[in-house]
Amino acid sequence: MKGYFAGLDIGGTNGRLKICDAQGTVLGEFTAQGCSLNTDGAEKSRLRYRALVLPALSQLNLEPGCCHGICVAASGIDSPSDEYNCRSSFEEMGFPPEKLLVLNDCEVFLHMTKEPALVVISGTGSVCFGRDKDGTIHRTGGWNHIISDEGSGFAMGLKILKAVGDELSGRITCPILTPLILERTGLDTLEKIDDFINANLMEKSEIARLSPLAYEAAVQGDMEAIRIHRECSEALWGLIRDTAFKMKKNSPADGLDMWLWGSVLVKNDLIRRLVEEKTKEEMPGAVAGIPAMSALDTALKAAMSQQ
């Protein structure tokens, strides 16, 4: 059987897989439902990993045991036990343990350079990682969506539901946001909003899917939607600030690469601009921007370094 390399980017909403041969020629790219170990649990995550990987290998007539290197960049890899559970899932499929690299889906971007760097992700969830000049990894946030995930799509979705609920209660007015939510979701009573939250609180991707509607309302001038964006951007800046503080003793203030990633920071230019402006004001030496290489391609590059 022919050898190959595989990179995976598994977020809370979507999982992506890219496979190339030993010469770097891409053999296929695949998408399936994502998961987050710290909220979905080991068993559900194991099933979703398999649902992404095994059909793809079958389609390409590849075997796990012939993999020359695989990098799994997955949401919810927050502890040694999480890494163990993820690793075990792939070893169970037949991937060679010595060829398997398991990382948090945010941490993978630190493999783009050997210099001190920082990356903040805001998608379904949020987290920030930094690597100082000694190679020490510092992390802030992303522990779970109940006590953390500040500034994420999930956090934005909850703020949207609260704002709409407050208008339905006669406390505030959201002239653009509320009609938009009612039209797109049918959540036109407090009871329906309550039922929706209770049904989806542990399936955070469902609540996170509401976040683009806040952007639609904000660009049309809805002040509550703009407030939500400001609050989320401040929360993301807090992740950056606290990670940079941990790195400060062992990293230069000037020329620090800072990458912004995740669906919220990439697709929502209002949030991204607010975060970039705050960073420029407070950390003028940092160079912020969207990575030229995606998380999936970075994972594949890391996989190829395993040989």
pLDDT, tens digit (0-9, with 9 covering 90-100), for 134-193: 888 899 998 878 888 999 999 999 999 999 999 999 999 999 999 999 999 999 999 999
pLDDT reading at 105 higher than 90: no
pLDDT, tens digit (0-9, with 9 covering 90-100), for 204-247: 889 999 999 999 999 999 999 999 999 999 999 999 999 999 98
pLDDT at residue 104, as a whole number: 84
The residue-averaged pLDDT of 253-279 equals 91
Global pTM value: 0.81
The residue-averaged pLDDT of 61-80 equals 92
Of 59-73, 128-142, 244-258, minimum mean pLDDT range = 244-258
DSSP string computed for the chain: ---EEEEEEE-SSEEEEEEEETTS-EEEEEEEE---HHHHHHHHHHHHHHHHHHHHHHHHT--GGGEEEEEEEETT--SHHHHHHHHHHHHHHT--GGGEEEEETTGGGGGG-SS-EEEEEESSSEEEEEE-TT--EEEES-S-TTT--TTSHHHHHHHHHHHHHHHHTTS---TTHHHHHHHHH---SHHHHHHHHHHHTTSHHHHHTTHHHHHHHHHTT-HHHHHHHHHHHHHHHHHHHHHHHHHGGGS-STT-EEEEESHHHHH-HHHHHHHHHHHHHH-TT-EEE--SS-HHHHHHHHHHTT-
